[in-house]
Structure 1
Amino acid sequence: MNSLRILSILALGAGLGLGGYLVIERTAGPLDALTGTAVAADRAALYYRDPSGAPAWSAGPKRDSEGRDYLPVYEENSTVEPPKAKPQRADVSRKILYYRNPMGLPDTSPAPKKDSMGMDYIPVYEGDETDDGSVRLSPGKIQRTGVKSEAVERRTVRVAVKAPGTIQLDERRVSVIAMRAESFVQKVADVTTGTRVKSGQPLMEIYSSAIASAAAEYLATINSKIVGGVEMYGRGSRQRLTNLDVPEPVIAAMEKSKVAPVTVQWSAPRDGIVLERAAVEGMRANPGDVLFRIADISMVWALVDVAERDLGNIAVAQPVTIRARSFPGRTFSGTIAVIYPQVNRETRTARVRIELANPDSALLPDMYIDAEIGTADSAPVVAVPESSVLDTGSRQSVLVDKGEGRYEPRQVKLGRRGGGYIEVREGLFEGDAVVTSANFLIDAESNLKAALKSFGEAPSAPSDSTKAGMGDHK
């Protein structure tokens, strides 16, 4: 039971930490008053205390910063009490205004006193209280809490808008081969879906009575002996072949050979990948039937969905970095080409089109990608590190380092965030110093000070003499 009480007291003392001193009212084992060494080494120590009497304890043997061993404290039957922590000495060179509660409660005293747990009230000196709401910390406290400040500078705030998306084909680089007249597929080249083809590469041979008739008419016109026949009639016959989508190389070969071909060879209109092959040898193709679909993927689109709140930060021609989930560590560069003028009702996002060069055809249609749009403004702005801002949701503030241990809370209006910095639109100027570390501790001290001040300004209860005087008027 006694051991449990001691451990509880130790845990409470460790939890109080900087708030005050812990006094342990119990009897320890016999100790040598000068050296602190144990007289009875055959007993187990309950804990070990600091040899200087400071409020520090350890569950096992250890040494202080000067290399001295912590002193053991033994069981109940000892008669020597461990030395208590020395009370904090007041600074006699400064005037004490009042004493405040060590636990931060709104309770002050004009004279030294202890709270219900035996901890001394903390003195508040003249000069520590200011009317501008600033907080003054001693150099020792600044060092212990790790307070750091940084000068406010103008810098470029880089805001990265991230959005997911997919790779899609460039609509301007897709070609289809479809018949404009009733035709029959005589032969199909060794080309399948997914095959890469070059412009002019043969795909199939077609027989069409409409094409054969137009070719015969054109050859008859250009072979005619009529003066001016080609100019007057040949132009219309050739246009008929063009309207039937006969490839230009076929028409040129016909003009050179003066012979109408039985079948017409169709070739690829561009470099690309065969996305669809519907042509089968011997099949009948009606007007409008698509037999091949070929796409050039040397340039592709990245369609990403940008959140509605980020639309004000993006614009056409901004650079974009694309990362494909299929290629970790590799990036692709592009620019914003179009911001679609519509917001999705369900997702509250707008679609953005980014044009990407794809020379090695690594990016394929419907591939998932992640886009990062750089929205850095070229004009530098007043900015502070993110760690310096105290944000309560309804109020944003920073702590300005006024020098000589004084810190002033100041409310600010924030702007864009990015790259670990936040734009400050109002409240700070270039050259001001703001606290970047341990600022929440100073803020807590400031809130405590405000609470104590409001508590001190509260109307006091009437004294006994006042009550007596009031009673005389009844």
Structure 2
Amino acid sequence: MSNVITQPKVSAEPIPVDSAIDQQPTPNSELSAAVRPRNSRFRRVLLAIVGWIPPVLVVAGLVALAWYGHHNDWKLPSFAATASPTKTGPAWCDSHGVPEAECINCVPGLIQDSPKLTFCDVHGVHGCVLHNPLLAETKSLAEITDNDLVRAERALTVRPRRENLALSQLPGSRIQFASLDAMQSAGVDVEPVQRNAIIESVETAGEVRYDATKTAQVSPLADGIVKEVRVNVGDWVEAGQVLAVVDSEKVGRLKSDLLSALSDERLKQDAVRRIEPLANRNVIPGKRLLESQTELQQATSLVEKTVRSLSNLGLSVDLDRLRSLEPEQAKDAVRNLGTDQIEARDSDNLIVVIATLAGRVVERETVVGEVVDRGTQMFRLSDTRTVWLDLRVPAEEASLAKIGQEVRYRPDGQATEHRGKVIWISSDVDRQTRTVRVRAELENEDGSLRNESFGLGQIVLRDEPDAIVVPDSSIQWDGENTLVFVRDKRFFEKDRPKFFVARSVRVGIKQDGFTEIIAGVLPGEVVASSGSDVLRAQLLKNNLGAGCTCGH
């Protein structure tokens, strides 16, 4: 039997320090207890110190950044400042973006000083070119006409405009480019100030309606049966034209009553004529004469009452003529009442329905044989040569509408424009829509405007055929003023600095990509269009911080 020596297994796992220390034999148990706490405390302190290093570095970096920003006006160092001192080239004015030696804002005498601008209380701009055309950047002296002054006054009167700050120092500032190429690289383009026709208006939805003063509902004047209809929808009729014929039993009865009353009146007249001479000679008592006269008055009253009833039905009766006719002639005249415009008279009961005004038949609500009552609508007529346009104007703009103002209307789906005048403005505000009704009258000779159709209406406040305009992109707001940037009139002269002048303006309306300039620029000047925001940014930059840092 061989002797086998078994070696202890060695673990591959690392033994913790504390465990190793615990396993090491010590001279006595007191020394072992002292070593373990001392090593554990050192380890914890070391880990805490290492953990605090990143936050301390971050705080130190922020403090350094704050110190640098405070002492350098929070501006990053320029490339020129960080470059090697041996590098050659012109010094650069970082505030104005041009070489220091060419900076017209920093080097006195490079160019004539900017004129001092005073605030125009009339037009609300700094250095008003309407009052002082010498301030305009035009090659020749601009001419100001009375029409320009009147136009500006009219534009400022018609409604409030955005105002400029009188104490602002930005208008008149010059924004310089190092060269024409630098301007183009910045994306700045220019457009000339132009004259254009503009229309300032209150635009709102409009609805066409028939003119109520020229519209009529036609009804029969007596109950009856429709015997004939002579017109149809769309027909044009004249006032007094027969539209329909109605057989009315009431008419026949009144005609009979009139004939009977006329006959009775004649009998009473004959009786009075016979009795009056006898009573005067006392042949018969006077009481008999009074009774006869009373009966005559009653018969006369009945005749007149019947005539009035027929007149209410539209049958005109010449009573004096009837009394002068022989009985047979009077009978024929009464039977023919109201049938003069009817060719075939097969009944004494016929009554005509006539047009009360000239117009077009827009509705027909009857047919032959229909029983109709007095007041029943048979036809509706309207003179469509003029129509009403009802506009719903927002309450806040209702004060701009005035009686007599021009109105332009374009129906939906049509290109034709119709014109008219404001004839009525409501005193009420609709509680639901908060709008005010404004009514205009439009000409409609061709009949193209239809009842209850919709479109776009314009109440014209101003129609300016020669307003001064600039592209919409030229207008900038700096927080105090509405500005445009006007190019120097000598911009293309050799060795002339390339700059624009900030000009405060009063703007009117926007239309077709252009903005009206009430005051501030004149035709002949050139303004920055696309890229004008670059000039605005440079203007604001020039007025921030400590100012120019180029050393002058």
Q: Fold match, TM over 0.5?
A: yes
Q: CA deviation at 1:168?
A: 0.8
Q: Counterpart in 2 of 1:364?
A: 450
The 1:342/1:394 distance shift into structure 2, 3 A limit, reads farther
Where does 1:383-398 land on structure 2 (aligned, <5 Å)?
Answer: 385-391=471-477, 396-398=482-484
1:393-447 Cα deviation digits (max 9, x unpaired)? 875323244555333435555445556333446xx37689562423222112223
Q: Counterpart in 1 of 2:381?
A: 294
Matched, 1:243 2:219: no
Between the aligned partners of 1:390 and 1:136, the Cα distance in structure 2 is 17
Match of 2:190 among 148, 154, 157: 148
Where does 1:102-181 land on structure 2 (aligned, <5 Å)?
Answer: 106-108=75-77, 112-114=81-83, 123-124=92-93, 125-126=100-101, 127-129=103-105, 133-140=173-180, 141-142=182-183, 145-148=187-190, 150=192, 158-181=199-222
The 1:248/1:390 distance shift into structure 2, 3 A limit, reads farther
Q: Counterpart in 1 of 2:410?
A: 323
Q: Counterpart in 2 of 1:87?
A: none
The 1:158/1:176 distance shift into structure 2, 3 A limit, reads closer
Q: Specify which structure has the higher proportion of strand.
A: 1
Q: Counterpart in 1 of 2:115?
A: none
Between the aligned partners of 2:218 and 2:389, the Cα distance in structure 1 is 26
- Matched-pair contact (CA < 8 Å) for 1:338–1:352: yes
Between the aligned partners of 1:346 and 1:408, the Cα distance in structure 2 is 50
Higher-Rg structure is: 2
Q: Which amino acid aligns with 2:534?
A: L
Between the aligned partners of 1:128 and 1:318, the Cα distance in structure 2 is 52
Matched, 1:258 2:333: yes
Q: Which amino acid aligns with 1:266?
A: V
Where does 1:367-446 land on structure 2 (aligned, <5 Å)?
Answer: 367-376=453-462, 385-391=471-477, 396-401=482-487, 404-418=497-511, 420-424=514-518, 428=520, 433=525, 435-437=527-529, 438-446=531-539
- Matched-pair contact (CA < 8 Å) for 1:211–1:241: yes
Between the aligned partners of 1:237 and 1:174, the Cα distance in structure 2 is 31
- Secondary structure in 1 matching 2:378: strand
- Secondary structure in 1 matching 2:82: coil
Q: Which amino acid aligns with 1:243?
A: N
- Matched-pair contact (CA < 8 Å) for 1:417–1:423: no
The 1:332/1:256 distance shift into structure 2, 3 A limit, reads farther
- Matched-pair contact (CA < 8 Å) for 1:319–1:336: yes
Between the aligned partners of 2:526 and 2:184, the Cα distance in structure 1 is 16
Between the aligned partners of 1:330 and 1:415, the Cα distance in structure 2 is 27
Matched, 1:184 2:224: yes
Matched, 1:202 2:271: no
The 1:361/1:206 distance shift into structure 2, 3 A limit, reads same
- Matched-pair contact (CA < 8 Å) for 1:128–1:135: no
Where does 1:335-350 land on structure 2 (aligned, <5 Å)?
Answer: 335-350=421-436
The normalised TM-score by structure 2 is 0.51
Q: Which amino acid aligns with 2:174?
A: S
Q: CA deviation at 1:170?
A: 0.8
1:306-357 Cα deviation digits (max 9, x unpaired)? 334443443222222222225x332222222222223334433322212122
Between the aligned partners of 1:198 and 1:191, the Cα distance in structure 2 is 12
Q: CA deviation at 1:114?
A: 4.6
Unaligned runs of 5+ in 1: 1-104, 458-474
Unaligned runs of 5+ in 2: 1-73, 94-99, 107-168, 271-295, 323-328, 336-347, 490-496
The normalised TM-score by structure 1 is 0.58
Between the aligned partners of 1:247 and 1:175, the Cα distance in structure 2 is 20
1:136-185 Cα deviation digits (max 9, x unpaired)? 223423455444364698x875313322222111111221223454x111
Between the aligned partners of 2:401 and 2:188, the Cα distance in structure 1 is 40
Q: Which amino acid aligns with 1:242?
A: S
Q: CA RMSD in A?
A: 4.6
- Matched-pair contact (CA < 8 Å) for 2:409–2:417: yes
The 1:255/1:353 distance shift into structure 2, 3 A limit, reads farther
Higher mean C-alpha displacement, 232-241 vs 292-301? 232-241
Q: Counterpart in 1 of 2:49?
A: none
The 1:264/1:431 distance shift into structure 2, 3 A limit, reads closer
Q: Counterpart in 1 of 2:274?
A: none
Higher RCO (Cα < 8 Å, 6 or more apart): 2
- Secondary structure in 2 matching 1:302: strand
- Matched-pair contact (CA < 8 Å) for 2:207–2:389: yes
1:62-91 Cα deviation digits (max 9, x unpaired)? xxxxxxxxxxxxxxxxxxxxxxxxxxxxxx
- Matched-pair contact (CA < 8 Å) for 1:185–1:280: no
Work out the percentage of aligned pairs sharing the same amino acid.
Answer: 20
Between the aligned partners of 1:347 and 1:448, the Cα distance in structure 2 is 46
Q: Counterpart in 2 of 1:33?
A: none
- Secondary structure in 2 matching 1:387: helix
Q: Which amino acid aligns with 2:207?
A: T
Q: CA deviation at 1:378?
A: 6.7
**How many residues are paired up?**
344
